[in-house]
Amino acid sequence: MPTLETLSFDNAFARLPDAFFTRLPPQPLPDPYLVAASPAAAALIGLDAAELARPEFAQVFSGNRLLPGSEPLAAVYSGHQFGVWAGQLGDGRAHLLGEVAGTGTGWEIQLKGAGQTPYSRFADGRAVLRSSIREFLCSEAMAALGIPTTRALSVVGSHAPVRRETMETAAVVARLAPSFIRFGSFEHWAAKGKTTELRQLADYVIERFRPECRDAANPYGALLADVGRRTGELIARWQAVGFMHGVMNTDNMSILGLTLDYGPFGFMDAFDPHHICNHSDDRGRYSYKSQPQIGHWNLYALGSALAPLIGEPEDVQAAIETSYAPAFEGHFMDLMRAKLGLARALPGDEDFIGDTFGMLQQQHPDYTQFFRRLGTLPAKVDETTRTTTDAPLRDLAIDRDGLDAWLALWRARLAAEGRPDAERQAAMMGVNPKYVLRNWIAESAIRAAQGGNFSEVDKVLACLASPFDDQPHNERYAAPPPDWAAGLAVSCSS
């Protein structure tokens, strides 16, 4: 098994022409210390769990010491932010160290918060402990939920002060992904009219990650359709689990269809389709309900960037229209059926799932608890004992008669399948998580860590690694927000 010093790097991205990035080392931080590390992420790059405990680990993953074979660089990209063209952005606080061999296509290691780069504009190149813990925990939680995402190997902290709304301290997240290329990486070259670089980047993505596109009649159209399909599936998964990204700008959209750049994200507590998890998003552009149509908008931004390679506008449109909506709708229906305990697709399911969201909107139950508890109910009830049997769900409702009416529809739909309760209930437990990274959970781990106690971060990480298992010692993490967390707001400040 490789150690830190013997990881084998093969830096394909660094072999692209110099126009795509600036080579520069991370800027050291004083006295770095390990806050948390993910053994599951370490395993992806074959790193022995014992390596995480070495003092050198914090030196390496703060950026203070370079691993042999790494070639640090910051990549350039542009993008649309909140629907407006923002021009050049780029890795303003991220250094790509290189790519190590591992399971799958290889893993790039990126340090987020390791100092200024030519793309920092007026910002400090740093990240604070608070936002780093959020990214770390959520990356690993999403992976355990089976949702495509960049991974997080570690958070390393330092006492170095960082100014946000208040003074905070610096931290660095080591992220892993096959690639961090974004929609905005393509928009960058298209906006400059540089078709050569645009093609080089598209060819790089196709060669390394999507070789099957090479054989299509229109390889770049096939690439766009691939991104459309993966993005559709990704956002279906977000909607089904109640995840809100918070800042779906095109520079935060992964060309591989991964959840990328965790900032003011949130998981739905009491269901509200209009919920806006990002306090800085005044108009709710990225609300829960808007995410699917924003995915579509973002694909058109990517499509217009790729247009010079694809050819006719109709081909761009066809690549998006045949991929995104069908993938989103198909996956969303399948995921919702599974959440509801339905094994087969039947006519009328769309209406029933629509009614389900209408009911959730009226009842505002805790979204995660609602489905988890639904999975405990029997398919048949005796009218005399119904209110007791259904109490776990009725207790979450505002209007119990309304909920009862929906439960009757649900039971009628279950009866159309006649699946045994035990089988259906077990299947529901396997798809409806008990534990998600609620804001209050992240916040309590952050407060403990800011006070020097990192054990809460480890406990949350371990709990969320098995989100579908009942964990009696972690019952508290299944709870909706406590009173102290009612007013918690997360913003773009990170």
Active site residues: 251
Q: Which of residues 369-428 bind ligand AMP (CB under 6 A)?
A: none
What is the residue whose two structure tokens read 């750049």?
Answer: 261
Is residue 118 close enough to count as binding ligand AMP by CB under 6 A? no
Cα–Cα distance between 134 and 112 in angstroms, integer?
13
Is residue 135 close enough to count as binding Mg ion by CB under 5 A? no
Using CB under 6 A, which of 197, 261, 269, 366 touches ligand AMP?
261
Using CB under 6 A, which of 98, 125, 157, 221 touches ligand AMP?
125
The residues, ordered by sequence, that sit 6+ positions from 144 with a Cβ below 8 Å of its Cβ are 40, 464, 465, 466, 467
Cα–Cα distance between 17 and 38 in angstroms, integer?
33
Is residue 123 close enough to count as binding ligand AMP by CB under 6 A? yes
The residues, ordered by sequence, that sit 6+ positions from 431 with a Cβ below 8 Å of its Cβ are 335, 338, 339, 468
Q: How far is the CB of 263 from ligand AMP (least distance, A)?
A: 5
Look up residue 454 and give its two tokens: 């990192």
Q: Which of residues 218-257 bind ligand AMP (CB under 6 A)?
A: 247, 251-252
Query: Collapsing DSSP states into helix, strand and coil, what is residue 298?
Result: helix
Cite the beta strand spans of 182-323 per DSSP E. 243-244, 266-267
Q: Which of residues 184-213 bind ligand AMP (CB under 6 A)?
A: none
For the chain, give the number of residues: 494
Using CB under 6 A, which of 221, 263, 292, 467 touches ligand AMP?
263
Cite the beta strand spans of 220-325 per DSSP E. 243-244, 266-267
Residues in contact with Mg ion, counted by CB under 5 A, come to a total of 2
Of 113 and 257, which has the nearer Cβ to ligand AMP?
Answer: 113
Using CB under 6 A, which of 91, 99, 140, 187 touches ligand AMP?
91
Of 26 and 90, which has the nearer Cβ to ligand AMP?
Answer: 90
Is residue 171 close enough to count as binding ligand AMP by CB under 6 A? no
Residues in contact with ligand AMP, counted by CB under 6 A, come to a total of 17
Cα–Cα distance between 112 and 249 in angstroms, integer?
18
CA angle 410, 340, 333 (to 5 degrees): 110
Q: Are 64 and 32 in contact (CB under 8 A)?
A: yes
Is residue 458 close enough to count as binding ligand AMP by CB under 6 A? no
Query: Collapsing DSSP states into helix, strand and coil, what is residue 478?
Result: helix
Cα–Cα distance between 439 and 447 in angstroms, integer?
12
**CB-nearest residue to Mg ion:** 261
Q: Which of residues 254-293 bind Mg ion (CB under 5 A)?
A: 261
Q: Which does 295 bind (CB under 5 to 8 A by kind): ligand AMP, Mg ion, none?
A: none
Q: Which does 90 bind (CB under 5 to 8 A by kind): ligand AMP, Mg ion, none?
A: ligand AMP
**CB-nearest residue to ligand AMP:** 92
Using CB under 6 A, which of 42, 89, 202, 446 touches ligand AMP?
89
Q: How far is the CB of 242 from Mg ion (least distance, A)?
A: 22
Q: Which residues of 305-336 are buried (b: 16+ CB within 10 A; e: fewer)?
A: bbbebbeeeebbebbbeebbbebbeebbbbbb
Provide the mask over 169-208, with x wherever binding to Mg ion is found by CB under 5 A and - wherever it is not.
----------------------------------------
- Chain residues that interact with Mg ion, rule: CB under 5 A: 252, 261
- Chain residues that interact with ligand AMP, rule: CB under 6 A: 89-93, 119-120, 123-126, 247, 251-252, 261, 263, 492
